[in-house]
Amino acid sequence: MRRFPYGSAMVTGASSGIGEGFARLLAREGVDLVLVARRGDRLKQLAAELESAHGVNVEVMQLDLTDESQVAEAEQRLAETDRPVELLVNNAGSSGSGYFAELPVERELHTAVLNAVVPLRLSHACLPGMIARGAGGIVNVSSLVAVLPKPRSATYAASKAFLSSLSESLSMEVARHGVNITTVHTGLTRSGFHEAAGVPTSALPDIKWLTSEQVARAGLDAVAAGRPSTVPGLAYRIRLPLMRAAPRSVVRAITRRVHEKPRT
């Protein structure tokens, strides 16, 4: 078996869902962890469990990454040269449901910052050290909606499109330095994300759902192999190139039929 190439990792949004899935799989690989999320109690509980089960060191950072001073703490940790973070997993994210013009702008800005600006800042903080060491990795958790219009989740889709584009471009910039950057294009995943966003899962397409561990495993396998992108789940791997190739008028028509509910 190939040994996982990274000995330390920071995972954002690690207290539940896909982020927790990454943390658990990394701990099984013997990787020391820096876990970042807002829920400190949950992070401490997870850290104690992983340290006991796998003998790894787990550092907890209770941070709201949409707060300027708190995201700066994560940046400082990533820039430390005496305790280098060899793998960054940009997983923290948020969404909401509703017509853009009717939603509070503060909520939409929160989504845009957490999904797009924070990964940009954290990647910028860790890349100089990775390049200098000639090794490192970043996993950016994006979504299939990055290539789709998404009525009632417009900011979420736009922020994931930004993240996917940034991730692919950075991958091309740093590959020659031995640094791997992978975009994970997720489909529907049982992670608690939709419930937190106020999106009823009964209203979503009836398609095979992924587990958080499936998504995390696909991301870790891809970054270890140096692949710039991965799509967990065979059904989604088939759909993504079809969505990219289809005329936008067709994509809009399908999206409208599947996702947009009539106004009452």
Specify the amino acid at residue 97: S
pLDDT digits (tens, 9 = 90+) for 12-25: 999 999 999 999 99
Q: How confident is the model at residue 97 (pLDDT cuts 50, 70, 90)?
A: confident
- Set out the domains of the chain in order of their start, with CATH numbers: 8-259 (3.40.50.720)
**Residue 160 falls in the annotated catalytic set:** yes
pTM for this one?
A: 0.88
Q: Are 70 and 93 in contact (CB under 8 A)?
A: no
Q: Name the active-site residue from 150, 156, 236, 261.
A: 156
Measured CA to CA, the distance from residue 113 to residue 67 in angstroms comes to 10
Average pLDDT, the chain: 90
Tokens standing for residue 93: 């994210």
Please give the full DSSP string across 197-216, using - where no structure is assigned: HT--GGGS---PPEEHHHHH
**Residue 261 falls in the annotated catalytic set:** no
Q: Name the active-site residue from 160, 208, 236, 261.
A: 160
Specify the pLDDT at position 197: 46
Cross-strand partners of 8? 32
